């Protein structure tokens, strides 16, 4: 039997540390080094990033106390807070979702039983809400850093305009530093929270999550032929602002960028961009989904032999495309999903893999999308492809592809073998018990 065909069904409940090591060893032959990393131990440990979707504090009751209680906070190097708004006038702003999100962000008073440090908030304190909880979490874990992620799918609408001219870039970057790093929050609705420096020190980094320069983002998102050039210039502007702030405060500040999973798009990013950022997270997911009529793995490490064109994209191919575009391997962070993509109306042939489907399966995060934690509770047959780094669940006529601790172990091995910068998870509320973060940490630990 060929190496590409050696895949086996593995029950999640039966997987222990020894089994994980065996799977990693089995898959080692499928990993082809992309670079020749230096033999010396790197000065800094691999990145362990994870996004925290702040709207799910209200929508799903997932708080930073939950992140701490799961053990994730102790294993991460940086939390990426999603998201900061880019306003119509090209400034950094606080997302306003009927004012609920702003209130959750820095005005909500937490009860002692809901807080990270077990202390209740006072009415008059200048910072409350999620940002105060993040400050408490970082005090509890001094090695944990935090970045405000700007844009994302919903709030990148005006990114192109903010990056368009030297004047707009300067105004945009200055407003972001003032709002999120200096912590100059607006005072709203007669509440005592906010004011100059209210959130100073909560964040020590900025993440540019422009989705996407040059097009392909949410309908209505502004586009311009010079977007990719302007992204490089915007990153340079932010780099200068962060360096100036570091000289003023004596602290260091991190600049990161989020990149699409499109291997063809990788070549469009200017090589000069990489000099301005400390790390670049490549979205190693949504390679396919229920928008396709054929089932496939949305985060597979390698494309299996014989995969149809609709399901042939892979994390490895995407990584190689970015390295070819000049992104240094020591800055490339591989993104992993905390959710699965699913189809319905899938027959039993081939255990449902690469099979025709009727449409999207119903999921708790929208059609065709379900959290890792919820998928683990579903019934059905489970399959692991340890050679190609893919996992799936076949439950009657439903078919789901998602990442598990087993596939995270394989991706961590891939990152280490190829001298890459680390792993990133989207997002923490989908992994409430910290299983995936624990796997990230274990996989990246020598």
Taking only the tens place, the pLDDT of each residue in 186-237 is 999 899 999 999 999 999 999 999 999 999 999 999 999 999 999 999 999 9
The predicted pLDDT at position 97 comes to: 61
User: Are the beta carbons of 297 and 287 closer than 8 angstroms?
Assistant: yes
Residue 274 has pLDDT above 80, yes or no: yes
**Per-residue CA distances from 196 to 111, 122, 226, 248 (Å):** 25, 19, 35, 17
Residue 403 has pLDDT above 60, yes or no: yes
* Structural domains present in the chain: 46-341+419-444 (3.20.20.80)
Q: Which band of pLDDT confidence, cut at 50, 70 and 90, is reported for residue 89?
A: very high
The predicted pLDDT at position 396 comes to: 87
What the block records as the tokens of 385 is 């492809």
Q: Quick one: average pLDDT of 294-312?
A: 95
DSSP string, 288-316: S-TTSSB---TT-SSPPTT--GGG---HH
The predicted pLDDT at position 44 comes to: 65
- Give the integer Cα–Cα distance in Å for 307 and 314: 11
Percent of the chain having pLDDT more than 90?
A: 86
Residues 6+ apart with CB under 8 A from 2: 305
- Give the integer Cα–Cα distance in Å for 90 and 438: 38
What the block records as the tokens of 440 is 């990230």
Mean pLDDT, the chain, whole residue set: 91
Q: Quick check: pTM over 0.95? A: no
What the block records as the tokens of 342 is 């699913």
The predicted pLDDT at position 29 comes to: 39
The predicted pLDDT at position 99 comes to: 66
**Which segments of 386-445 are extended strands (E)?**
390-395, 398-401, 422-426
Q: Quick one: average pLDDT of 139-160?
A: 97
The predicted pLDDT at position 345 comes to: 98
User: Are the beta carbons of 291 and 277 closer than 8 angstroms?
Assistant: no
Nearest to 353 by CA among 387, 409, 308: 308
φ, ψ of residue 221 in degrees (nearest 5):
-75, 130
The predicted pLDDT at position 35 comes to: 44
The predicted pLDDT at position 106 comes to: 97
Summarize pLDDT for 37-67 with one digit per residue, the tens. 444 444 467 999 999 999 999 999 999 999 9
What is the CA angle 339-206-191, rounded to 5?
A: 90
Residue 28 has pLDDT above 80, yes or no: no
The predicted pLDDT at position 95 comes to: 83
The predicted pLDDT at position 102 comes to: 87
- Give the integer Cα–Cα distance in Å for 403 and 363: 16
Is 20 or 352 the better-scoring residue by pLDDT? Answer: 352
Q: Which band of pLDDT confidence, cut at 50, 70 and 90, is reported for residue 9?
A: very low
φ, ψ of residue 50 in degrees (nearest 5):
-150, 140
Summarize pLDDT for 348-387 with one digit per residue, the tens. 999 999 999 999 999 999 999 999 999 999 999 999 999 9
Cα torsion 222, 228, 233, 238 to 10°: value is: 70
The predicted pLDDT at position 98 comes to: 59
The predicted pLDDT at position 19 comes to: 37
The predicted pLDDT at position 373 comes to: 98
Q: Please, where are the H alpha helices in 227-343? A: 227-249, 263-266, 315-324
Q: Quick one: average pLDDT of 13-36?
A: 40
Residue 122 has pLDDT above 60, yes or no: yes
Question: Which residues, in sequence order, are bridge partners of residue 207?
Answer: 149, 256
């Amino acid at each position: 039997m060929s190496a590409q065909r050696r895949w086996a069904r593995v029950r999640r409940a039966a997987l222990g540390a020894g089994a994980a090591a065996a799977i990693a060893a089995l898959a080692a032959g499928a990993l082809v080094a992309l670079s020749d990393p230096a033999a010396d131990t790197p000065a800094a440990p691999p990145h362990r990033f994870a996004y925290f979707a702040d709207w799910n504090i209200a929508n799903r009751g997932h708080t930073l106390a939950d992140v701490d209680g799961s053990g994730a906070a102790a294993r991460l190097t940086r939390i990426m807070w999603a998201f900061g708004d880019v306003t119509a006038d090209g400034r950094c702003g606080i997302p306003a979702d009927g004012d609920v999100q702003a209130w959750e962000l820095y005005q909500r008073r937490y009860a002692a039983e809901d807080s990270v440090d077990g202390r209740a908030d006072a009415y008059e304190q200048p910072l409350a809400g999620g940002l105060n909880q993040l400050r408490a979490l970082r005090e509890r874990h001094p090695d944990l850093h935090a970045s405000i992620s700007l844009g994302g799918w919903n709030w990148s609408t005006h990114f192109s305009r903010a990056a368009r001219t030297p004047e707009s870039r300067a105004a945009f970057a200055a407003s972001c530093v003032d709002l999120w790093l200096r912590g100059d929050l607006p005072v709203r609705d007669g509440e005592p929270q906010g004011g100059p420096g209210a959130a100073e020190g909560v964040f020590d980094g900025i993440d540019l999550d422009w989705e996407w320069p040059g097009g392909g983002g949410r309908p209505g998102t502004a586009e311009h032929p010079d977007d990719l050039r302007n992204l490089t210039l915007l990153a340079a502007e932010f780099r200068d602002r962060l360096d100036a702030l570091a000289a003023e405060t004596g602290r260091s500040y991190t600049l990161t960028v989020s990149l699409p999973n499109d291997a063809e798009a990788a070549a469009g990013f200017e090589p000069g961009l990489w000099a301005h950022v400390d790390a670049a997270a490549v979205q190693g997911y949504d390679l396919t989904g229920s928008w396709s009529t054929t089932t496939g793995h949305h985060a597979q490490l390698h494309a299996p032999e014989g995969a149809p064109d609709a399901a042939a994209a892979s994390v490895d191919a995407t990584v190689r495309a970015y390295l070819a575009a000049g992104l240094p391997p020591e800055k490339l962070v591989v993104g992993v999903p905390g959710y699965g993509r699913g189809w319905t109306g899938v027959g039993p042939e081939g255990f449902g893999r690469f099979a025709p489907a009727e449409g999207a399966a119903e999921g708790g995060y929208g059609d065709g999308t379900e959290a890792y934690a919820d998928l683990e509770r579903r019934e059905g047959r489970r399959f692991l492809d340890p050679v190609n780094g893919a996992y799936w669940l076949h439950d009657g006529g439903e078919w789901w592809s998602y990442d598990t601790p087993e596939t995270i172990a394989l991706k961590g091995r891939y990152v280490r073998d190829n001298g890459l910068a680390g792993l990133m998870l989207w997002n923490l509320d989908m992994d409430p018990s910290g299983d995936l973060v624990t796997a990230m940490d274990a996989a990246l630990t020598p």
